[in-house]
Amino acid sequence: MKVNKKSWLILIGVTSLIGGCALVDKLEGVITPEKNIIEKTVAKTKTVSLACKRGNIKDYEEKGWKVIDSEEKEIPCTWKTKKARPGCNLEKDKGCRITVPDKMGKEIIYTLEKLITVENR
């Protein structure tokens, strides 16, 4: 009877190995879930400063950026050297030289936004 038990155990083990491989192949698609792709829309913001009529906001608008907010302020565009007091020599006396704004211009600070689609896996 002991020999019979051993042979039955060996027979059951071999059949489960042979039948188990085919069963694993059939269940492989069921066990592993499909990966879902989730798309998110993210808003990127950017601050751009254009001063003294240099640059153009249309370059950004062509690339898909939208203007959310704009702020305007007056700033000096060019500077010049001037005498601090009458009668001083600019070349000999360094304390006599001061720098003052020459031409004033406008600086416009734009806040831009762009919607970007991002895929998560």
What's the pLDDT at 21?
59
pTM: 0.57
HEC profile of the chain? CHHHHHHHHHHHHHHHHHHHHHHHHHHHHHHCCCCCCEEEEEEEEEEEEEECCCCCCHHHHHCCCEEEEEEEEEEEEEEEEEECCCCCCCCCCHHHEEEEEEEEEEEEEEEEEEEEEEEEC
- pLDDT tens digits for range 69-121: 999 999 999 999 888 888 888 787 777 888 889 999 999 999 999 998 887 75
User: What pLDDT is stored for residue 79 in this prediction?
Assistant: 92
Residues 14-22, mean pLDDT to the nearest whole number: 64
pLDDT at 30: 58
